[in-house]
């Protein structure tokens, strides 16, 4: 009698992770976690991708952007991931978040948008030489970020830089038509259509808080009051 051997099929799973809230350097993740502020650092995403271990990954993005270098690192982490990776823009992918969204095959919710603009910096001071240096640095960083859009859309750099200079926002259909996004998420998908976080925190905010945390840990009773004071004092609307 011939025996039929049934081989167990390996079911491929899809791991989910997200880039939500402000995009920050790794050193600031603990601060945001402590303050219960939604934020994503490269280290946080890297851990999730390592845990995924080559399985299919779905990355949801809803972020106003943040630190340029951190956004670039997020882009490269997703671009070089060994497995299949899909990026879903479910709210807003602005500034550094829009750069990260260019890393792989991407989709966008009908209610979502992307925004691209020039790189900016805060805390610059000094004479006209320092201002010239800062201006040149910003231009080079803007060109570096433009590379992600050029590679994704196939548009020439001059056109992309013109869009960045005008601070361009694209709704879903426009983003697909111009090549920034591959497809619109079908209505049959269980997608999250959420409101984007609309604030960012300055580098000075984190530096002040780092000094505070290094001196002593505040009492639990003072924590909520401290959070409120810091957010009111340092939050800037985009």
Q: Give the residue numbers marked as catalytic.
A: 95, 117
**CA geometry: angle at 48 spanning 45 and 49, to 5°?**
85
Q: Is 90 exposed, middle or buried (0-12, 13-18, 19+ CB in 10 A)?
A: buried
Tokens standing for 82? 């060994």
**CA geometry: angle at 58 spanning 43 and 28, to 5°?**
20
**CA geometry: angle at 216 spanning 212 and 219, to 5°?**
105
Q: Tell me the sheet residues that pair with 15.
A: 57
- CA 89 vs CA 171, 187, 232, 234: distances in Å: 11, 14, 29, 28
Q: Is 238 exposed, middle or buried (0-12, 13-18, 19+ CB in 10 A)?
A: middle
**What is d(CA 152, CA 156) in angstroms, rounded to the nearest whole number?**
11
């Amino acid at each position: 009698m011939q025996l039929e051997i049934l081989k167990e099929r390996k079911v491929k799973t899809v791991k989910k992770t997200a880039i939500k809230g402000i995009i920050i350097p790794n050193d600031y993740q603990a601060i945001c976690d402590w303050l219960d502020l939604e934020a994503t650092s490269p280290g946080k995403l890297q851990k999730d991708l390592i845990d995924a271990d080559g399985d299919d990954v779905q990355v949801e993005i809803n972020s106003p952007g943040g630190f340029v270098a951190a956004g670039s690192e997020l882009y490269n982490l997703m671009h070089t991931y060994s497995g299949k990776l899909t990026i879903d823009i479910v709210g807003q992918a602005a500034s550094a978040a829009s750069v990260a969204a260019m890393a792989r095959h991407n989709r966008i919710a009908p209610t979502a948008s992307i925004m691209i603009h020039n790189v900016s910096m805060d805390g610059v001071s000094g004479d006209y030489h320092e201002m010239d240096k800062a201006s040149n640095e910003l231009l080079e960083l803007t060109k570096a970020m433009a590379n992600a859009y050029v590679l994704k859309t196939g548009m020439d750099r001059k056109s992309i830089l013109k869009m960045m200079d005008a601070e361009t926002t694209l709704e879903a259909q426009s983003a697909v038509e111009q090549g920034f996004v591959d497809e619109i998420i079908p209505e049959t998908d269980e997608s999250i259509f959420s409101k984007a976080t609309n604030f960012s925190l300055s580098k000075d905010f984190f530096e002040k808080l780092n000094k505070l945390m290094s001196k002593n840990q505040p009492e639990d009773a003072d924590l909520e009051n401290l959070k409120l004071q810091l957010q009111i004092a340092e939050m800037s609307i985009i």
